[in-house]
Chain A
Amino acid sequence: MTVMGMSLLDFARGPAINTAMAVFVLGVLWRLVSLLGLPRSVDRSRPKAGVPSAPMAALAGIWRHMGTPRGFGPMSMFQVFNGWIFHVGLAVIVFGFAQHMLFLKGLFGLSWPVLPTSVITLAAYVTLASLVAALVRRMTHPVLRLLSTGNDYVSWLVTVLPVVTGLLAVSHLGARYETLLALHILSIALLLVWFPFGKLMHAFLVFITRAETGMTYARRGVKT
């Protein structure tokens, strides 16, 4: 298969991924600049005595919302655990797989030890199962059904596609390896293009919102 006179794989790892990375970087910068450039309210209330410094409070806020606080009372923990599983799973796949590390090394010049392919494959199956479980819950739980918009489903799809195409490529299933690899890279390009404009942007925003809430609550002396 050829695109613009080049093989699909050359297209995917050439213009497609390069354009997608440019959209990703510029899009994320645009989102962050347009957000952080907004007017900021100044808190003029008198802070409680002995509260931590703003950077410490920000870090504490980021840490604190990693899970449900102890003593909060009964909560369904499926969402928390499942969320952890696919987030960690994705991180293991992205940074632990040798080929991914080599790709990132080509971009940033950094390398690190990687995990055996069998471990990555297992992580990918677990992540896939976790993402499917998240989708099933989203489509069946009354609260999640009400909250969900197209953004949620598109974000799910562009996240799951690289996992599926990656597994197919590693397993050489369904088509020639070059075609599967090209589809995998194209699915990542799609993820990168969608990232800044959909809810995947939470990967950056999470540090801002948790830090700001952490600082507000610390100023008040709230210990949660």
Chain B
Amino acid sequence: MNAPAPIDVKAATRAFLAQTEEHMNAYLEACVHCGQCSEACHFHKASGDPRHTPAYKLFPIAKAQRAQKWPLKWLGLAPAITEKDLAEWEELIFDTCTMCGRCTEVCPMAIDIASIVGQARKAFVAAGLGPADLLQAAENSRDHGSPLGLTPEKLVDRVEWLADDDEVDMPLDKERAEVLLTVSSIEAMKYPQSLSAMAKILNHAGVDWTFSTTGYEATNFGYLSGKADIAKVMIQRILDAAEKTGAKTVVIPECGHAYGVLRWGAANIIGRPLPFEVLHITEYMAKLKRAGKLKLKPYDTPMTYHDPCQISRRGGATEDARYLLDGFATHFTEMAPTGAHNWCCGGGGGVQAMSRAAPLRHKVFQIKIDQVAATGTDTLVSACANCRLTFDESKTALHWEGKLESIVEIIADHLVED
């Protein structure tokens, strides 16, 4: 058996210090160690382990920053980060933070811990750390187009099969289109009907849209794994495809982090504003409904709705899902807490892709089971394939008998065709 690769502390330190920036440093200097964030964190709630406290996750990056600060550095009063620090915090930075931002809600200093964890991951990867399966997902994205084997050829194959099977027109590589529709490979490989459902809805509303074989993967495992170069490649592919087709709007499918990265991070990663509008599929469907282009039959199943963190709490699109459900889902009961305060699924931030994190993820699902039970319904609808997959796996592990649905699929199934 090969010895584990040494941990490159210098590379990690360089990567930590490369993040030096006013916002981040203000956050790192402002923490008063009050511990309120522990109660907002689903991992801490599920495990009871104090190490899962969000503020504790910031310690290595805060330590690295302090160690280079004058006069502490000059006086030798601030120790540098060590191999032990990095080895100990790897699990905390990757496996037990979904970057859901719920901790910020209760932080008296309003520290954006999620964004710092996202930055800190870069340093851990630079040191040679990080879960192998997450890093592999990022490399697959760069080398094969998607983390889950959705190559351009496979996309063509899937689209042709779905178009044929579901009798829906699914344009691919149209020369010009108003809307570029992207996909999440989680959907394409695990919930393929979601792709044809999106197509049905766009066709129903008469939208001029296309998929592209050069820019289709909306998820960004480069960002989630702390590999900035891959994050940029994934964004550039969509950017090039949208520019080629002249799309004014890029629609992100049911994937929270894909939306977060492309809607709020991409322009900053590539260093210029995006030349198109980015909308999550729930935002886009709400836009169609407002324009009177979405005619729906009532959906009568008693259900509740799970807000994906990156779409609601960190995305600002909470009301679009409600607008869609209003007058459509006749037996909709909000869970508590809900909207921007909702509990995370436990699989965001790439945690779903880390097999070693599964036992704790399953414990987190108990929070959701209890939330759903309190609504008196047994159907959990969401707008994120990653949440859905996380729930699906935990549902099996915990033998939960409730039903999981996608908002896109239920809307597609209730379209009123003229």
Contact residues of A with B, CB < 8 Å? 31, 34-36, 38-46, 48, 61, 64-65, 68-69, 71-73, 75-76, 79-80, 83, 141-149, 152, 199, 201-202, 205-206, 208-210, 212-214, 216-217, 220-224
Contact = CB atoms under 8 A, between A and B. Distances in A.
B314 A73 contact: no
A36 B22 contact: yes
Contact of A45 (B104, B265, B271): B265
B405 interface: no
Given A44-B267, A46-B273, A202 B26 contact: no
B40 interface: yes
A148 B29 contact: no
B316 A223 contact: yes
B341 A209 contact: no
B280 to A, nearest CB: 12
Given A72-B337, A144-B33, A213-B104, A202 B109 contact: yes
A40 B315 contact: no
B317 A144 contact: no
Contacts of B107: 65
Given A40-B21, A144-B34, A208-B26, 20 more contacts: A34-B69, A38-B20, A40-B23, A41-B268, A45-B263, A45-B268, A45-B274, A46-B273, A68-B105, A69-B341, A71-B336, A72-B105, A79-B34, A147-B55, A212-B110, A213-B112, A221-B316, A222-B313, A222-B316, A224-B105
Contact of A46 (B21, B44, B267, B313): B267
A101 B110 CA distance: 32
16 contacts: A36-B22, A38-B22, A43-B268, A44-B268, A44-B273, A68-B105, A72-B106, A72-B341, A83-B34, A144-B34, A147-B35, A147-B55, A149-B33, A199-B33, A209-B27, A222-B314
A209 B113 CA distance: 12
Given A222-B313, A222-B315, A38 B110 contact: no
Given A38-B20, A41-B268, A209 B26 contact: yes
B50 A142 contact: yes
A201 B22 contact: no
Nearest to A40: B22
Contacts of B31: 199
Contacts of A48: 316
Contact of B315 (A71, A143, A147, A220): A220
A206 B108 contact: yes
Contact of A38 (B21, B50, B338): B21
B38 interface: yes
B26 A205 contact: yes
B41 to A, nearest CB: 10
Contact of A65 (B108, B274, B341): B108
A217 B21 CA distance: 18
Contact of B30 (A46, A144, A202, A216): A202
Contact of B108 (A36, A83, A144, A217): A83
A16 B317 CA distance: 56
Nearest to B265: A45
Given A220-B264, A222-B314, A213 B29 contact: no
B50 A146 contact: yes
A73 B23 contact: no
B51 interface: yes
